[in-house]
Amino acid sequence: MSNISINLYHLYPDAMNLYGDYGNVLALVKRCEWRGFDVVVTHVKQGDSVDFNAADIILMGGGQDRSQQVIAHDLKQRECALKEAIEQGVCALTVCGAYQLFGHYFRTKEGLELPGIGVFDVHTEGSDDRMIGNTLIDCYSFMTPVDRALLFRGSKLRKLELVGFENHSGKTYLQEDVTPFGKVIKGYGNDGASQHEGCRYKNAFGTYLHGPLLPKNPWFADYLIVLALRRKYGENIEVIELDNSMEAAAFYGAKKRALTAKTTHI
């Protein structure tokens, strides 16, 4: 057993898991294990009683509108506990439908309004536009100097780009003071017009990037791990760099597809 451990809470794995989003769980688990860290994964389903104060990282994937309707009420019951955890600096990664429900609301194009929990100061409106395709974003401009120093220190990393796959008709609108996750280089992002993708509040991230996101973007997977460990053990925690040659090949393959793809609304 290691002296270092991470508690990972995976919300609604049975309902919110599109386009390989479970790969985000696997990526975090393996990258911790390769470093000798213990990981305890708690799968949180509807009605389960859990203590989010014990969580270090919270993950929730995407789902179709029907799946979001199924879990929305249960998620709403957890609003206070989740918001308290996020305020305390717990890391969270929410993808697509989860991102929408971590905002104030998602109104489908049929007019059905699903209440969110308001972690992010955003809202989402359904549309007739289907935004689909491989995506490339750049997160550099929206990282703080402290973040950049942390990410580039002793690392071979040169850019803060992310690749992913988006497929959504919901258009997410950020309030004026909300920090986007990244700038769209290729793809549609939050609404197909703003050139912004996702958002961030404290250590919680919302994004439309499926893929799964983390296996092809190891710097961001490690960033979540480092944020979680620094919160739990202090800023002197050391995380060794791994051999990312396979992950880099996957990243550049996806980047090439994104840059050469013909993306249109369908």
Contact 189, 137 (CB under 8 A): yes
Closest CA to 97 of 111, 80, 117, 78: 117
Tokens of 220: 């961001």
Single out the catalytic residue among 104, 168, 196, 210. Answer: 210
Contact 17, 61 (CB under 8 A): yes
| 139 part of the active site | no
**Token pair 């983390």: residue:** 214
| 196 part of the active site | no
In the three-class reduction of DSSP (H, G, I as helix; E, B as strand; rest coil), residue 230 is classed as: helix
Report the distance separating Cα 238 and Cα 3, nearest Å.
Answer: 13
Single out the catalytic residue among 96, 104, 139, 199. Answer: 96
Q: At what angle do helices 22-33 and 218-233 cross, to 10 degrees?
A: 60
Residues catalogued as catalytic: 96, 210
